[in-house]
C-alpha cells in the first residue's frame, strides 16, 4: 500500500510539472517587455512614487524617473511621514529637477486605511496626468520606459497595465527565495488570460471566472485616469494588504482591459537585501494572497511538498529500495523542476546555480506559511515601515 501511494504521489508530481511546463513555455512568448515607443506621444503621464523611510533607494529611483526621454510628464513623490534622511534627499532632488519633480508631504493616515493605498490615493489626487504610473521607491526605470507605457496603452487599448520588474538579486537569500515568486507566477498563470478571456472556455463561464485571472505587481502599476477613477481609485482597496491584485480584480470586474508585461531592460527592482527583510516583507501579505482561506493555504502547502520536496528525497532513496519506477518518476520530476528554473534564470538573468536550491526555498516558504497562519489565529500584527499591518 505504501509503495502504491508513493508511486501515486510521484505520478501526481510529474503530471503537475508537465502541465506547468506548458504554461511556462506559453508565458515565455506572451509575457513580453513593454513595446518600443515614441517620445513624442501626446499623452501627459504622471509618475507617482510613495516613499516612507526610503533613504537607501529613493535617490536612484527618482533620478531614473526624472530622466525620461519623453516630452510630456511629471514626477510626484509623496513623503509619507519619513523619519530618516528621505525628506533631505528629496529636497535636494527637487532643486535639481525643477519643473519636473514635485515633492508633497503625506497627510496623517485616516482610520480604516493601510499606509500604501492612502499614499497612492493622495498621489492620484495630486496628479494631472492622463496616464498615472505608480512605482515603488525601490524601482529603477530606464529613459525609454514612459514611451513604452504610452505605446502599450494605445497599441493594446488598455485601461490598466502592470509590469513585473527584473529583480536584482545579490545576497544568498535573495537569490534563493525571490525567484520562487516569479516561478509561481510564470508556471501557474497564463499571462494572456489576464488580457483576454480563454477562447477554449464557454463565454458565460469565461465571464464568471474573469477575475480569477486577475494579477498585478504593485511595484509598477499604470492606469488611464478615467478608468482609475471609475473603479474607485486606491480608495477601493484602502484596507487591502494586496492592493495591487484588488485593483486588477476591480478592473476586470468592470469590463476594463489589463495586460501584464515583464521589465526586460527597462524596469528593475531590488525588493529586499537580507533574509530578515524578505521574511518581514512577505510575512505581512503572504496569507492575504490566499484570501485568508485556511483550506486553500493548507492545500497549496501540501501540493508544494509533494511536487517540489518529495522527488528530491525519493530520488536517492529509490536505488537502495529497488524501485525503478520511483527512480524514473523522481528523476523526471527533478529534471523538470531544474529545467524550469534554468529557463527562468536565463530569462531574468539570474545565477543559474541557485536553481539547485529550489527545495530549500520551498521549505523556507512553508515555514513562513506556518508563521503567517499563527499570526492570523493569534491576531498578531506585523510591523512594516514602522507601522502595524
Q: Render pLDDT for 143-199 as a digit per residue (tens, 0 to 9).
A: 999 999 999 999 999 999 999 999 999 999 999 999 999 999 999 999 999 999 888
- What is the extent of the structural domain holding 339? 2-28+288-388
Of 110-124, 281-295, 297-311, where does mean pLDDT reach its minimum? 281-295
Q: Give yes or no: residues 51 and 99 share one domain.
A: yes
How many residues in the chain?
A: 389
Tell me: pLDDT of 389 over 70. Answer: no
User: Looking at residues 361-383, what average pLDDT do you find?
Assistant: 88
The rounded mean pLDDT for the chain is 93
Q: Give yes or no: residues 267 and 345 share one domain.
A: no
Tell me: pLDDT of 382 over 80. Answer: no
Q: Give yes or no: residues 19 and 151 share one domain.
A: no
Which uninterrupted H or E stretch holds 126? helix 115-126
What is the reported pLDDT for 323? 85
Give the number of domains in the chain. Answer: 2
CB 81 within 8 A of CB 74: no
Is 183 a domain residue?
no
Q: Pairing relation of β-strands 139-141 and 267-269?
A: antiparallel
189-220 pLDDT tens trace = 999 999 998 888 888 777 778 888 999 999 99
> Chain centroid to CA 25: how far?
19
Q: Give yes or no: residues 225 and 129 share one domain.
A: yes
Tell me: pLDDT of 271 over 70. Answer: yes
- ∠ CA 215-180-356, nearest 5°, is 155
Tell me: pLDDT of 35 over 90. Answer: yes
Is 185 a domain residue?
no
Is 99 a domain residue?
yes
Q: Give the cell for residue 213.
A: 485571472
Tell me: pLDDT of 383 over 80. Answer: no
Q: Give yes or no: residues 321 and 233 share one domain.
A: no
Amino acid at each position: 500500500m505504501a509503495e502504491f501511494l508513493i508511486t501515486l504521489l510521484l505520478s501526481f508530481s510529474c503530471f503537475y510539472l508537465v502541465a506547468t511546463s506548458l504554461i511556462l513555455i506559453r508565458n515565455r512568448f506572451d509575457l513580453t517587455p513593454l513595446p518600443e515607443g515614441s517620445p513624442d506621444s501626446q499623452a501627459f503621464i504622471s509618475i507617482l512614487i510613495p516613499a516612507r523611510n526610503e533613504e537607501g533607494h529613493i535617490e536612484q529611483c527618482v533620478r531614473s524617473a526624472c530622466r525620461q526621454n519623453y516630452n510630456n510628464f511629471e514626477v510626484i513623490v509623496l513623503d509619507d511621514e519619513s523619519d530618516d534622511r528621505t525628506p533631505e534627499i528629496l529636497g535636494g532632488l527637487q532643486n535639481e529637477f525643477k519643473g519636473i519633480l514635485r515633492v508633497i508631504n503625506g497627510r496623517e493616515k485616516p482610520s480604516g486605511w493601510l499606509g500604501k493605498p492612502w499614499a497612492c490615493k493622495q498621489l492620484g489626487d495630486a496628479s494631472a496626468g492622463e496616464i498615472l504610473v505608480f512605482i515603488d521607491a525601490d524601482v529603477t526605470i530606464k529613459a525609454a520606459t514612459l514611451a513604452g507605457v504610452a505605446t502599450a496603452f494605445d497599441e493594446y487599448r488598455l485601461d490598466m497595465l502592470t509590469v513585473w520588474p527584473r529583480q536584482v538579486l545579490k545576497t544568498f537569500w535573495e537569490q534563493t527565495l525571490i525567484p520562487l515568486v516569479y516561478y509561481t507566477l510564470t508556471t501557474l498563470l497564463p499571462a494572456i488570460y489576464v488580457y483576454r478571456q480563454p477562447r477554449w472556455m464557454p463565454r458565460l463561464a469565461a465571464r464568471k471566472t474573469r477575475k480569477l485571472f486577475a494579477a498585478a505587481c504593485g511595484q509598477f502599476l499604470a492606469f488611464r485616469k478615467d478608468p482609475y477613477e471609475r473603479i474607485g481609485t486606491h480608495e477601493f482597496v484602502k484596507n487591502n494588504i494586496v492592493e495591487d491584485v484588488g485593483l486588477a480584480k476591480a478592473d476586470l470586474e468592470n469590463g476594463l482591459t489589463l495586460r501584464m508585461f515583464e521589465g526586460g531592460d527597462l524596469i528593475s527592482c531590488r525588493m529586499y537585501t537580507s533574509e530578515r527583510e524578505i521574511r518581514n516583507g512577505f510575512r505581512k501579505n503572504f496569507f492575504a494572497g490566499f484570501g485568508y482561506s485556511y483550506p486553500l493555504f493548507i492545500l497549496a502547502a501540501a501540493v508544494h511538498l509533494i511536487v517540489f520536496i518529495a522527488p528530491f528525497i525519493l530520488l536517492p532513496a529509490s536505488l537502495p529500495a529497488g524501485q525503478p519506477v520511483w527512480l524514473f518518476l523522481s528523476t523526471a520530476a527533478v529534471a523538470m523542476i531544474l529545467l524550469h528554473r534554468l529557463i527562468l534564470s536565463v530569462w531574468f538573468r539570474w545565477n543559474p546555480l541557485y536553481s539547485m536550491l529550489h527545495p530549500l526555498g520551498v521549505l523556507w516558504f512553508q515555514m513562513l506559511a506556518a508563521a503567517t497562519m499563527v499570526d492570523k489565529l493569534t491576531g498578531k500584527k506585523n510591523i512594516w515601515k514602522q507601522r502595524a499591518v
